[in-house]
């Protein structure tokens, strides 16, 4: 077979796949020969030899339905002394023969049938055949029997004395010979394909012809290595293989069927048939046909599996439509969007014009014809040739392409509107830039990939465990299903696979207990990687020089920071690193060869069975691709290897700021904090944007139904990311705007309705851009001149601002006279009704998974504080039933045990100022008790009250208390000014803004902007005409760059924290009333509770020794340094 298998592999490679024969039996006794080795891995190797049968059966399952069996006269190893029923309790006793240990191991790890009465005396070879041909699907199994009557050493003349001749070649007993004959008869009687070979050469010919036919049947398209389109075609082969694997692991559910229906409706009809969210700044687009559907969800929520399964069914049911799909994460080249566009162009043209050979469509000089703008133009033209469906899965993994950065690619501004007969389905995560960018397109509909139900999650777990003979203990199943993290199918997949494999070397119960303690998929992968290393790996210690030993000994004397992942060393981590650092994976031969180079040779060499055991354990996550390369098949494991094994610092940490950091306005030590207080909304609980849509829709309908506003307002939908927090609204002029810390309007951010107001008009209305102090509202929206400027400070105000803009837009579009002050009051009252009348609370409680986001690790923060003996309290304006339902979902039903005091419907900010309202206790049935409150008891629920009474009853005063909230005024201002508590602001927008600030585009733009400002400073002293002309050009360029930096954050209003070079009014209040601020409470997990936060000393203008442009030029690689140096 040394010639046949390479020939088959070469043939397979030409068809976009590979062929590799896995033959473990020839190495079955290799490990036993290592008894004399003085290595630490000897006991492991003995266990590997006991796993031979288990590994073979695993490989047979993984390779099913493909199976080759060459059966001669040998029956194989078997036991004859098993007349009594077997017990698995002796499976680890070394006194047992190797065959028995193999049987026990296989039975204990998912194959108990091997110990049944009819199978226990079978040879290991026959058990493998039973698994492949009699239990599994056998339609691609081939058997090859030796034809002894035509043996090269036995002539036709002695055919009748075959029995005598066979004894010359074998030492089989009569019983073994009988078993071989019975096994062959059983195979033939089942009707399985059997070939008789005369010689090894004949055997090779038979095997080649049989498997060539299988390959031609499954892979009919021929890929030519010399073809210009080969790379594109190979990427599509990898993509199709990935989607096939995803489809295989898919578990159908009512939720998935609903998504399928919406996908079908989108592709087959206009957008009105799809009951999905639509995003547009113009309500008229609601009735226009959409050409792009964006499927989004959290990482690991099953988007790829869902799309793969839908695509398979859709293709079968609609064969007349050309369907082109691509998964971005299959390989490094696949992340280049240009390759997918070229592939689509080629396929569409070939289909339309009936061209078989597409190479004529390619230029010999690719750079001449296939620059990116031409690729896009050719793609759009080809997309209009015929009806087609394009599916691009995983756009969050797109990278840079020729001429565009990764950020520019993900913004999708390069993609024009598609032709009407072309439909495009994209998928991404809601935390990625691609989601934020693409939802603003007017031709896009979005569809949320929701978490599966409990029943479906159980089926997902069982499917990935995939051992019908091995049931998951009911207690363990209950624990898994009641973990919030198990709502992600990817987590269930990891746990299911670990249930199948972790019990071989490790204690399954202990492993699962550790796994269920984690709070993220990333942490889970860390523990799984650790288990792989402990179970399968050993190190290759190399001899070191005396100098290096002394140096090592000296360094060991120093205290080094350690964590539970520090000891990940050995051949397993080396293999994972090699795969991760490769361009597109490595073949098995390459990996084993590299291990030998790294020192795993001689007695430390990785035996065949050890390698096979490891491969079986990681089969679902580290797979061989159609090109024969072994690679990771999920982004989450790649990221885990980067973090836990390669110790790579995330890219964002190498830039300017960490989005998960805590930032200090005032010096504060957590060691001084004894009591932690929390608001609920957007502090402990975070909400999806679906909640904003809900608030907008309900308030809009109240306006129409109860305030008699025009029915045409119902055409307006909520516009995500149209507004930002901290904006001011001029009630009398109906203008929404951003104001800086010095009370100046940021020109270019003033909107009337949905349209910007020109700078000239703004200056005319306000006689400049300054807003006098007396027109600004105080903390609570009041001013000495009545309602003049209202500032919107909390996240719940985003729907209110959007509704104000939409109503103003409607009246202006239809030329309707209206009084802006009355309009403002009506909208404010409608928004208030959504909260006050309980409509919002009931809606959230009815579908909590849709509206409440899980994943901010609130539970981990609270338990960390509790474990360190910190006292905690909750003060919220929300009602108890609403809070209780949310906290049950986020933290668990024991959430009240974590808090020493819980106060609901507190009516902040009056709670902090009004001494009159007493506390009332609420019983478990929600009934208000009227007894006087003498103490605030743990486990009880209290309503209303006031802070002064709270301080009297608890004694929690001064700087030992740290209170967190999201509303700078209602939650934090009074506590800072009047009571001396330390305060922490939760600013969810902070994370996304920092990520933008860390991009190369932003850094380069700001570096040049600062440099250009310095040039203007120096250049203005020259008054000659030429210098003044240059100055005017630079001023114009500076204004353009300032607008560009604003638009990076939000096209309408820019950054929450900056108005060009000045802080915003919001930022000024944040720095005044919050000691620290962060994106979410989960940031606390990055610090120990003795950490001191120090505010950075930013130089005042007179303290800066040189202009920023002179500093940035050297530190940030200013690309325009040469231009700046030439300025005199």
Query: Using one digit for the tens of pLDDT, what is the confidence trace for 48-95?
Result: 777 888 888 888 888 888 899 988 888 888 887 665 545 544 444 556
Q: Can you tell me whether residue 397 is helix, strand or coil?
A: helix
CA distance 444 to 275: 13
Tell me the sheet residues that pair with 460: none
Examine residue 909 and say whether the peptide bond preceding it is cis (omega within 30 degrees of 0). yes
What Rg do the C-alpha atoms of the chain give, in angstroms?
35
- The SS3 of residue 1006 is helix
**Has this prediction a pTM greater than 0.75?**
no
pLDDT in tens, 944-992: 999 999 999 999 988 899 999 999 988 998 888 888 899 999 999 998 8
What's the confidence (pLDDT) of residue 29?
A: 46
Q: Where are the alpha helices (DSSP H) in 64-218?
A: 98-108, 124-129, 162-169, 174-189, 200-218
| Mean pLDDT calculated for residue range 495-510 | 81
431: closest CA among 328, 301, 307, 535? 301
Task: Check if the beta carbon of residue 933 is closer than 8 Å to that of residue 921.
Answer: yes
Predicted pLDDT at 954 = 93
Q: Which two tokens stand for residue 317?
A: 């049911």
Question: Quick one: how far is CA 642 from the chain centroid?
Answer: 15
Instruction: Report the C-alpha gap between 472 and 495 in whole angstroms.
Output: 11
Q: Could you give the C-alpha distances from 977 to 101, 113, 781, 877, in angstroms and in order?
A: 74, 74, 18, 21
Write the CB contacts of 455 (distance below 8 Å, at least 6 apart in sequence).
Answer: 253
CA torsion through residues 18, 19, 24, 26, sign: negative
Q: What is the 3-state secondary structure (H, E, C) of 529-561?
A: HHHHHHHHCCCCCCCCCHHHHHHHHHHHHCCCC
pLDDT digits (tens, 9 = 90+) for 793-848: 889 999 999 999 999 999 999 999 999 999 999 999 999 999 989 999 999 999 99
Q: What is the pLDDT of residue 874?
A: 96
**pLDDT tens digit sequence for 726-783:** 999 999 999 999 999 889 999 999 999 999 999 999 999 999 999 888 777 655 444 4
Q: Which range has the worst mean pLDDT, 866-870, 1012-1016, 1122-1126?
A: 1122-1126
Contacts 24+ apart (CB under 8 A), 361-368: 362/228, 362/229, 364/228, 366/228
- Per DSSP, the three-state class of 868 is coil
pLDDT on residue 855: 53
User: What amino acid positions are annotated as catalytic residues?
Assistant: 679, 681
Q: 883 CB contacts (<8 Å, ≥6 apart)?
A: 680, 874, 876, 902, 904
Note whether 472 and 439 are within 8 A (CB): no
Query: Would you state the pLDDT for residue 229?
Result: 54
CB-CB contact of 552 with 588 (8 Å):
no
- Cβ(348)–Cβ(323) under 8 Å? no
**pLDDT attached to residue 90:** 45
Mean pLDDT value across residues 389-397: 91
pLDDT class of 150 with cuts at 50, 70, 90: low
Q: Is the pLDDT of residue 155 over 80?
A: no
User: How many Cβ atoms from other residues are within 10 Å of residue 400's Cβ?
Assistant: 15
The residue with tokens 């934020």 is 436
- Rounded to the nearest angstrom, the gap between the alpha carbon of residue 438 and the centroid of all alpha carbons in its chain is 18
Nearest-angstrom CA–CA distance, 239 and 388: 18
Contacts of 976 by beta carbon, 8 Å cutoff, 6+ apart: 983, 1072, 1073, 1074, 1075
Q: Which candidate, 613, 571, 526, places its Cα nearest to that of 27?
A: 613
Longest alpha-carbon distance in the chain? 121
Residue 984 is predicted with a pLDDT of 96
Distance CA 515, CA 497 (A): 12
The Cα–Cα gap between 863 and 611 comes to 41
**Quick one: tokens of 882?**
């609403």
In the three-class reduction of DSSP (H, G, I as helix; E, B as strand; rest coil), residue 523 is classed as: helix
Structure tokens at 1098: 């930013």
Reference 780, options 643, 911, 690; nearest CA is: 911
Distance (Å, rounded) from C-alpha 635 to C-alpha 714? 42
Q: Cis peptide before 65, with omega less than 30 degrees from 0? A: yes
**pLDDT tens track for 96-147:** 788 888 888 888 888 888 888 888 888 888 898 888 888 887 778 889 998 7
What are the DSSP calls for 1067-1119, one per residue?
HHHHHHH-SEEES-GGGGGGS-TT-EE----PPPTTT-SS-HHHHHHHHTT-T
Tokens standing for residue 793: 């400070």
pLDDT digits 0-9 by tens, 1022-1046: 788 877 888 888 898 888 888 888 8
Question: Tokens in use for 570?
Answer: 């050995």
Question: How many beta carbons lie within 10 A of that of residue 485, not counting itself?
Answer: 22
* DSSP 8-state symbol, 418: P
Closest by Cα among 843, 807, 840 to 824 = 807
**Is the pLDDT reported for residue 235 higher than 60?**
yes
Task: Give the SS3 label for residue 62.
Answer: helix
CA distance 1044 to 573: 45
Give the chain's count of helices (H) and strands (E): 43, 32
1062-1074 tens-digit pLDDT: 899 999 999 999 9
Q: For residue 594, how many other CB atoms are within 10 A of its CB?
A: 15
Beta carbons within 10 angstroms of residue 503's beta carbon: 17
Task: Give alpha helix (H) positions in 955-988.
Answer: 974
For residue 935, pLDDT over 50 is answered with yes
Q: Check if the beta carbon of residue 435 is closer than 8 Å to that of residue 429.
A: yes
In this structure, are residues 939 and 656 in contact, taking their beta carbons and an 8 Å threshold?
no
- In angstroms, the CA 299 to CA 301 distance is 6
The per-residue pLDDT of the chain, averaged, comes to 81
- How open is the CA angle 184-187-190, to the nearest 5 degrees? 145
Output phi, psi for 875, to 5 deg.
-125, 115
Contact 668, 1091 (CB under 8 A): no
Residue 856 near residue 1081, CB atoms below 8 Å: yes
Taking only the tens place, the pLDDT of each residue in 449-476 is 887 888 888 888 888 776 666 777 788 8
- In the structure encoding, which two tokens stand for residue 664, read together? 């200090």
> Residue 655 has what pLDDT?
43
Asked if the model's pLDDT at residue 27 lies above 50, the reply is no
Confidence band for 433, pLDDT divided at 50, 70 and 90 = confident
């Amino acid at each position: 077979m040394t010639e046949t298998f390479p020939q088959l592999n070469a043939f397979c490679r030409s068809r976009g796949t590979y062929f590799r024969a896995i033959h473990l039996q020839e190495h079955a006794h290799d490990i036993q020969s290592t008894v004399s080795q003085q290595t630490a891995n000897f006991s492991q190797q003995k266990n590997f030899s006991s796993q031979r049968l288990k590994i073979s059966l695993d490989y047979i399952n993984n390779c099913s339905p493909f199976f080759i069996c060459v059966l001669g006269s040998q029956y194989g190893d078997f036991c004859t002394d098993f007349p009594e029923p077997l017990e698995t309790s002796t499976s680890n006793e070394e006194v047992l023969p190797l065959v028995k240990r193999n049987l026990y191991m296989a039975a204990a790890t998912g194959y108990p049938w091997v110990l049944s009465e009819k199978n226990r005396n079978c040879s290991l070879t026959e058990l493998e055949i039973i698994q492949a041909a009699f239990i599994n699907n056998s339609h691609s199994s081939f058997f090859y029997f030796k034809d002894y009557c035509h043996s090269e050493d036995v002539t036709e003349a002695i055919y009748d004395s075959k029995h005598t001749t066979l004894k010359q070649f074998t030492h089989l007993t009569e019983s073994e010979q009988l078993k071989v004959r019975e096994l062959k008869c059983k195979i033939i009687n089942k009707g399985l394909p059997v070939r008789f070979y005369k010689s090894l050469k004949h055997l090779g010919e038979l095997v080649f012809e049989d498997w060539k036919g299988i390959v031609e049947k499954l892979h009919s398209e021929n890929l030519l290595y010399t073809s210009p389109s080969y790379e594109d075609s190979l990427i599509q082969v990898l993509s199709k293989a990935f989607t096939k694997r995803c489809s295989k692991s898919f578990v159908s559910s009512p939720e998935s069927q609903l998504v399928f229906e919406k996908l079908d409706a989108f592709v087959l009809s206009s957008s009105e048939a799809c009951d999905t969210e639509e995003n547009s700044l113009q309500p008229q687009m609601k009735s226009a046909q959409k050409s792009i559907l964006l499927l989004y969800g959290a990482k690991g929520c099953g988007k790829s599996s869902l799309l793969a399964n839908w695509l398979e069914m859709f293709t079968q049911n609609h064969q007349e439509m050309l369907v082109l799909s691509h998964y971005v994460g299959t390989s490094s080249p696949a992340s280049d969007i240009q390759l997918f566009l070229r592939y689509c162009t080629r396929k569409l043209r070939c289909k339309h014009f009936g061209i078989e050979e597409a190479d004529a469509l390619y230029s010999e000089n690719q750079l001449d014809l296939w620059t990116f703008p031409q690729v896009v133009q050719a793609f759009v033209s080809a997309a209009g040739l015929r009806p087609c469906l394009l599916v691009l899965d995983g756009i969050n993994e797109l990278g840079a392409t020729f001429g565009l950065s990764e950020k520019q690619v993900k913004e999708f501004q390069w993609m024009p509107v598609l032709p009407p007969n072309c439909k495009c389905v994209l998928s991404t995560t809601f935390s990625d830039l691609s989601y934020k960018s693409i939802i603003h397109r007017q031709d896009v509909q979005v569809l949320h990939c929701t978490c599966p139900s409990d029943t479906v999650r159980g089926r997902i777990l069982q499917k990935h465990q995939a051992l019908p003979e091995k049931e998951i203990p009911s207690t363990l199943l209950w624990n898994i299903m009641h973990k919030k993290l198990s709502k992600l199918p990817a987590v269930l997949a990891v746990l299911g696979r670990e249930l199948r494999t972790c019990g071989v070397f490790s204690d399954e119960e202990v492993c699962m207990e550790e796994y269920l303690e984690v709070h993220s998929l990333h942490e889970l992968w860390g523990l799984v990687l650790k288990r792989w290393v402990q179970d399968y790996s050993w190190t290759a210690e190399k001899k070191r020089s005396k100098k290096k030993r002394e140096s090592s000994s000296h360094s060991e004397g120093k205290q080094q920071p350690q964590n539970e992942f520090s000891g990940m060393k050995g051949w397993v981590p080396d293999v994972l690193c090699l795969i991760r650092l490769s361009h597109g994976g490595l073949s098995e031969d390459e990996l084993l060869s590299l291990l030998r180079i790294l020192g795993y040779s001689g007695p430390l060499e990785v035996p065949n069975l050890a390698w096979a055991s490891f491969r079986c354990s990681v089969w679902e996550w580290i797979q061989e691709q159609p090109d024969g390369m072994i690679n990771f098949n999920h982004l989450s494991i790649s990221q885990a290897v980067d973090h836990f094994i390669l110790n790579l610092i995330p890219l964002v940490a190498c830039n300017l700021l960490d989005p998960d950091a805590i930032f200090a306005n005032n010096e504060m030590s957590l060691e001084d904090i004894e009591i932690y207080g929390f608001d609920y909304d957007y502090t402990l609980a975070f909400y999806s944007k679906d909640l904003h849509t809900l608030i907008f829709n309900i308030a809009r309908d109240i306006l129409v139904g109860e305030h008699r506003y025009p029915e045409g307002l119902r055409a307006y939908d909520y516009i995500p990311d149209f507004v930002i927090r901290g904006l001011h609204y001029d009630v009398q002029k109906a203008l929404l705007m951003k104001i800086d810390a010095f009370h100046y309007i940021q020109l270019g951010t003033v909107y009337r309705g949905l349209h910007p107001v020109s700078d000239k008009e703004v200056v005319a209305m306000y006689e400049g851009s300054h807003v006098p102090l007396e027109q600004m509202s105080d903390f609570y929206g009041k001013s000495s001149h009545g309602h003049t400027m209202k500032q919107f400070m909390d996240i719940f105000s985003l729907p209110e601002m959007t509704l104000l803009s939409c109503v103003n837009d409607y009246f202006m579009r239809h030329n309707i006279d209206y009084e802006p002050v009355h309009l403002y009051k009506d909208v404010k009252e409608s928004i208030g009704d959504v909260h006050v009348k309980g409509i919002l609370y009931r809606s959230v409680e009815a579908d909590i998974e849709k509206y409440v986001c899980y994943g901010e690790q609130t539970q981990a923060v609270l338990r960390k504080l509790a474990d360190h003996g910190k006292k905690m309290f909750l003060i919220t304006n929300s009602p108890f039933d609403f809070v209780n339902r949310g906290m049950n979902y986020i933290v668990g039903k024991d959430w009240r045990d974590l808090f020493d005091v819980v106060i609901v419907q507190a009516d902040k900010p009056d709670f902090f100022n009004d001494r009159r309202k007493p506390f009332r206790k609420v019983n478990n049935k929600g009934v208000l008790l009227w007894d006087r409150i003498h103490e605030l008891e743990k486990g009880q629920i209290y309503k209303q009250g006031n802070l002064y009474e709270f301080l009297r009853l608890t004694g929690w005063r001064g700087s030992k208390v740290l209170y967190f909230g999201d509303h700078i005024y209602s939650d934090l201002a009074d506590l800072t000014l009047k009571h001396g508590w330390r305060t922490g602001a939760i600013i969810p927008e902070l994370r996304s803004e920092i990520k933008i600030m860390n991009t190369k585009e932003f850094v380069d733009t700001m570096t040049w902007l600062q440099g250009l400002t310095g040039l203007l400073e120096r250049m203005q002293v020259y008054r000659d005409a030429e210098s003044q002309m240059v100055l005017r050009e630079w001023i114009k360029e500076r204004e353009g760059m300032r607008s560009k930096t604003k638009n990076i954050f939000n096209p309408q209003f820019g950054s929450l924290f900056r108005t060009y070079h000045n802080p915003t009014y919001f930022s000024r209040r944040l720095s005044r009333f919050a000691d620290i601020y962060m994106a979410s409470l989960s940031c606390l997990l990055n610090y120990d509770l003795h950490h001191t936060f120090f505010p950075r000393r930013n130089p005042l203008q007179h303290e800066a020794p040189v202009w920023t442009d002179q500093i940035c030029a050297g530190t940030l690689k200013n690309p325009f340094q040469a231009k700046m140096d030439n300025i005199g």
